[in-house]
Amino acid sequence: MSTTATAGTRPDDVRRHNRAALLRRLHVDGPATRAKLASTLGLNRSTIKALVDGLAEDGVVEERVPVQRSGAGRPSLLVLPQPQAAVVLAVDIRVERVAMALVGIGGAILARGSWNAREGRREPAEVFTKIVDTAGPLIDELAVRPVAVGVSVPGVVRHSDGFVHEAPNLHWSDVPLGGWLSRALEVNVHMGNDAELGALAEHLRGAARGADDIVYIGADVGVGGGVISNGVSMRGAGGHHIGEVGHMVVRPGGLPCYCGSYGCWETEVGERALCRALDLDENSPVGAIVAELRSARTLSAPERLGEFAEWLAIGLSNVVNLLCPKLVVLGDLFTALPPALVADLERTVRERSLVSRALGGTRVVTSALGPDAKLLGAAELAFETVLSAW
Amino acid sequence: MSTTATAGTRPDDVRRHNRAALLRRLHVDGPATRAKLASTLGLNRSTIKALVDGLAEDGVVEERVPVQRSGAGRPSLLVLPQPQAAVVLAVDIRVERVAMALVGIGGAILARGSWNAREGRREPAEVFTKIVDTAGPLIDELAVRPVAVGVSVPGVVRHSDGFVHEAPNLHWSDVPLGGWLSRALEVNVHMGNDAELGALAEHLRGAARGADDIVYIGADVGVGGGVISNGVSMRGAGGHHIGEVGHMVVRPGGLPCYCGSYGCWETEVGERALCRALDLDENSPVGAIVAELRSARTLSAPERLGEFAEWLAIGLSNVVNLLCPKLVVLGDLFTALPPALVADLERTVRERSLVSRALGGTRVVTSALGPDAKLLGAAELAFETVLSAW
């Protein structure tokens, strides 16, 4: 019997464990032949057949003869997860916008909704009501009830019950949003810090696939960090996320921050600082900032970002020294940073950080999932428990 | 059968697992009655008896009738670990001094040696030779050969083979000290970053006993951090330690640091900065600095540390935001900081760090092990593999 099968000791436990591993493999890596599943999971073909047959009976997977045959002999059947067999509701709460989606097994977005949260429409009670009001039509459209809900919040969140301790840029504190949502939607709600979920999504489906020690840095109004260590979300005391990098003081005596401190990294490299660096109005919409970052003026002369780039390098060197990642993924607005500037950043971090030097350099890349990273991360947080308990 | 016993599936595995758990319990928490061992390990009395009898036969534990009887009936025998039954050699390499010790089961220091490493006597080859030369007499004195060696180095160390990538304050880079020592001493050598090992020791035997999410900050010439998360040393890419806090830039454009950067935290709060704050010569010996910190002048007016205290607070708030500890232990020179200043620091961190606020405050305390923290941590690193493979 394989190592995969030894976690449980009773036959029922073993079967449940193997079924969860199979489902997770299909969810994260997509369709695969029975032969491939057998080899990657270290299980024999008859075990795989029994598991797949069971899942097919439940409508969770479908089998097909593959189009391309891999050699002589009878082709191994291709096993495809059925997205609608298990759907989660994902919610990404941001300062400027709330996005929602129904996401199926395999990570496909099956339905979307969003609204502008500017103009004072981000009081906790209003956001809560709007989430519930938006969920209804989405569920009706797809005619599938979500089996769990995942929510991304730009703040410090208690995992156990989705209690938002503090979300400075939303001006929220002590908001029991997880409890409200689970009662209203009558389904399990899992909540996490936005950058932590960005890290999870990039690790599973984005720029950090295959990398096990990463830091994700997301920037819109706020700047946040999330850490995956040895393939797992790194957590600190009380299960809270590790890497509240936006509120690291890099410029003592600098600008005041919503968090109550001064000279935080996010006051130097967040959305407003980026606007200043680009000579844009500080309240410019995200689209205008991205357009300017991708304009010929910035692409051909990334040095016009001047001091902004220097603060980015200082903060990122600190992050690498403290959190020891092999790869840094820059997300949200940073996704649009000029490639030449990102390459410079990678070089500077390697020069300045002794941890990066010890690692033979830390790669710095931009997000592959862009504005969807946190939404997809929220979906993955919800899927974690769903798939393991299938 | 208890949960403790289910990690292995064959009777041999179970016995080995339980024996390691029992030995670890005695090593970390000291002597205990058979009854107490049975209840804390979740094993029945006959299993405990068999295990203890086996260990007693090997001379690893001794049994005695306890002096204080806990009630009526036959007293439960007290099981005592025998320090000399397994001895490790611990080495703490610092900029100013190298300390060595033979440490027995239970954590007792059985023999010590040390030498001054100032005055150009800290080239890698010289330190290596001196360690080997000092080990001989120590081993002869005790007449027990160490079963493993643990070494603490103030730098970035590869765990797998004890390769020192960089130790800026020693001016070391790319030193394969682990390989040299294991060949010369003919025993397994385990090496770690000094602050990581300080964290381990304080967690097991010092100020952080019972706390599972901690950061240890050690300061002599350099400043370093080590992190225990959920009771385990937190590691990043390549198994390197997390928390190279001394080289976090807190004062951009500040003093140059040995690491090649400017305005690192250690240039603002390390030994030299502390000397400046105390109006001492920058090359004052450690004893003089500690005496001045504990003098009536500093104790009655901790505000004389002025700017130094502010840099300490800024850096510590960053550390708490990024690493999310419930408890911070200040070690080495910081052990002597005035209690009023430490209390102020705890208050300031709570005010400024939103992570600390979310945790209901992060406690800040001084080390219980002082200058022995890293030496004892090196011993514990060596014991980890010894005890689990007993």
Is residue B8 over pLDDT 50?
no
Contact A270, A311 (CB under 8 A): no
Chain A partners within 8 Å of B247 (Cβ): 321, 353-355
Least CB–CB distance from B260: residue in A230, A238, A352: A352
Task: Pick from A232, A318, A327, A329 the residue to mutate for testing the B interface (most B CBs within 10 Å).
Answer: A318
Residue B324 and residue A247: Cβ atoms within 8 Å? no
Q: How many helices (H) and strands (E) does chain A have?
A: 14, 16
Is residue B75 over pLDDT 90?
no
Cα separation, A157 vs A13, in Å, equals 32
Half-sphere exposure of A106 (CA within 13 A, CB side): 17
> Residue A370 gets which letter from DSSP?
G
Cα separation, B113 vs B150, in Å, equals 15
What's the CATH number of domain B3-81, 3.40.50.1860, 1.20.59.10, 1.10.10.10, 1.10.645.10? Answer: 1.10.10.10
Nearest CA in chain B to A311: B252
Least CB–CB distance from A247: residue in B158, B260, B321: B321
Per-residue pLDDT of chain A (390 residues; tens, 9 = 90+): 333 333 335 777 888 889 999 999 999 999 999 999 999 999 999 999 999 999 999 999 999 988 765 566 777 889 999 999 999 999 999 998 999 999 999 999 999 999 998 766 789 999 999 999 999 999 999 999 999 999 999 999 999 999 999 999 999 999 999 999 999 999 999 999 999 999 999 999 999 999 999 999 999 889 999 999 999 999 999 999 999 999 999 999 899 998 888 999 999 999 999 999 999 999 899 999 999 999 988 888 888 898 999 999 999 999 999 999 999 999 999 999 999 999 999 999 999 999 999 999 999 999 999 999 999 999 999 999 999 888
Tell me the nearest-neighbour CA distance from A349 into chain B, angstroms: 10
Least CB–CB distance from B249: residue in A229, A245, A318: A318
CA distances from residue B238 to A169, A236, A325, B172, B175 in whole angstroms, order as listed: 35, 20, 9, 20, 17
* Fold: same for B85-196+374-388 and B209-368: yes
Tell me the nearest-neighbour CA distance from B15 into chain A, angstroms: 17
Residue type, A208: A
Nearest CA in chain B to A258: B354
A280 CA to centre of own chain: 29
Question: Where along chain A do its domains lie?
Answer: 3-81, 85-196+374-388, 209-368
Cα separation, B247 vs A67, in Å, equals 55
Nearest CA in chain A to B265: A318
Is residue B28 over pLDDT 90?
yes
Q: Tell me phi and psi for residue A153, to 5 degrees.
A: -130, 135
What pLDDT is stored for residue A378 in this prediction?
A: 98
| Cβ neighbours around A312 below 10 Å, total | 31
Tell me the nearest-neighbour CA distance from B318 into chain A, angstroms: 5
What pLDDT is stored for residue A70 in this prediction?
A: 58
**Residue A116 burial by CB count (10 A; 0-12/13-18/19+): exposed, middle or buried?**
exposed
The mean per-residue pLDDT over the stretch B173-181 comes to 97
Residue B314 and residue A260: Cβ atoms within 8 Å? no
Nearest CA in chain B to A261: B352
pLDDT in tens, B309-359: 999 999 999 999 999 999 999 999 999 999 999 999 999 999 999 999 999
- What value, to the nearest 5°, has the Cα angle with vertex B62 and ends B61 and B64? 145
Cα separation, B344 vs A306, in Å, equals 38
Higher pLDDT, B278 or B4: B278
Cα separation, A153 vs A137, in Å, equals 23
B205 CB-near residues (< 8 Å, 6+ apart) = B28, B107, B368, B369, B376, B380
> With the C-alpha atoms ordered B346, B348, B350, B353, is the resulting torsion angle positive or negative?
negative
Pick from A300-304, B241-245, B247-251, B261-265: least confident: A300-304
Cα separation, A234 vs A231, in Å, equals 9
Number of A/B CB contacts below 8 angstroms equals: 164
CATH number of B209-368: 3.30.420.40
Chain B partners within 8 Å of A251 (Cβ): 252
What pLDDT is stored for residue A3 in this prediction?
A: 32
Cα separation, B194 vs B93, in Å, equals 8
**DSSP states of B112-128 as a string?**
EEEEE-TTT---HHHHH
Q: How many helices (H) and strands (E) does chain B have?
A: 14, 16
Q: B362 is written with which tokens?
A: 């992060």
Residue A321 and residue B244: Cβ atoms within 8 Å? yes
CATH number of B85-196+374-388: 3.30.420.40
Residue B363, classed as helix, strand or coil, is strand
Tell me the nearest-neighbour CA distance from A303 into chain B, angstroms: 19
Contact A58, A85 (CB under 8 A): yes
Contact A275, A339 (CB under 8 A): no
Tell me the nearest-neighbour CA distance from B242 into chain A, angstroms: 5
CA distances from residue A22 to A41, A176, A263, B144 in whole angstroms, order as listed: 7, 35, 48, 52
Chain B partners within 8 Å of A252 (Cβ): 250-251, 310, 314
Contact B51, B63 (CB under 8 A): no
Best CA proximity match to B242, nearest among B160, B174, B333, B159: B159
Band of residue B3 on the pLDDT scale cut at 50, 70, 90: very low
Band of residue B301 on the pLDDT scale cut at 50, 70, 90: confident
The mean per-residue pLDDT over the stretch B269-286 comes to 94
Best CA proximity match to B213, nearest among B228, B198, B199: B228
What pLDDT is stored for residue B32 in this prediction?
A: 95
Residue B355 and residue A249: Cβ atoms within 8 Å? no
Is residue B6 over pLDDT 50?
no
Chain A partners within 8 Å of B238 (Cβ): 213, 324, 326, 358-359
Pick from A63-67, A365-369, B215-219, B251-255: least confident: A63-67
Element (H, E) at B103: strand B97-104
Residue A240 and residue B9: Cβ atoms within 8 Å? no
Contact B103, B376 (CB under 8 A): yes
Tell me the nearest-neighbour CA distance from B374 into chain A, angstroms: 19
CA distances from residue A149 to A91, A152, A160, A182 in whole angstroms, order as listed: 8, 10, 14, 8
- What value, to the nearest 5°, has the Cα angle with vertex A292 and ends A287 and A293? 100
Tell me the nearest-neighbour CA distance from B161 into chain A, angstroms: 14
User: Which value does ipTM take for this structure?
Assistant: 0.91
Residue A166 and residue B314: Cβ atoms within 8 Å? no
State the virtual CA torsion across B15, B18, B23, B29 in degrees, nearest 10: -170
Residue A156 and residue B355: Cβ atoms within 8 Å? yes
Least CB–CB distance from B324: residue in A229, A236, A351: A236
